[in-house]
Amino acid sequence: MAKSPSSPLSLFRLKNSGPTKMLGLNLTAPAVIAFIAYLILALVIILPFDFPVQDQETGQETVIKYDFTQRLIVLLLMAIPIALSVYSINCMMAGNCVLWSYVVSIVTVFWIILFIITAIAYTIGQKK
């Protein structure tokens, strides 16, 4: 007779074979999976395609042309929360994360301020 798992969630646990050396960091398997997912997201953001939008004033459909610089700015802004996310996942798997929780909260506040400043600067730049 097969031995039943100790909890229903134990069926879904990944076998952690220890940290993997990636980009000079020892990352656990879930952190590597998240990092790969973020790389795929970055690729999708950078892909060169135009997308149609409807003008609110005229009701006509216009096409926003691909702008590599704008997409790169988006990726650079996303780099901060992506790095925090991957490191947080790694920390959850590896152990004690009390200090890291304070670091994440402070860096998140700075990231939001940077995001707001960038959005304001972009809006002012569009009006000129």
What pLDDT was estimated at residue 49? Answer: 78
What pLDDT was estimated at residue 18? Answer: 58
- b/e map 89-99, b = 16+ CB within 10 Å: bbbebeeebee
What pLDDT was estimated at residue 22? Answer: 60
Task: Tell me the C-alpha to C-alpha distance, in Å, between residue 8 and each of 4, 11, 12, 15.
Answer: 9, 6, 8, 15
Residues of the chain where predicted confidence (pLDDT) is lower than 70: 1-25, 126-128
The phi, psi pair for 109, rounded to 5°, reads: -60, -45
What pLDDT was estimated at residue 44? Answer: 86
What pLDDT was estimated at residue 89? Answer: 86
What pLDDT was estimated at residue 29? Answer: 85
- Assign 25 to helix, strand or coil: strand
What pLDDT was estimated at residue 122? Answer: 77
**Residue ranges per structural domain of the chain:** 27-127
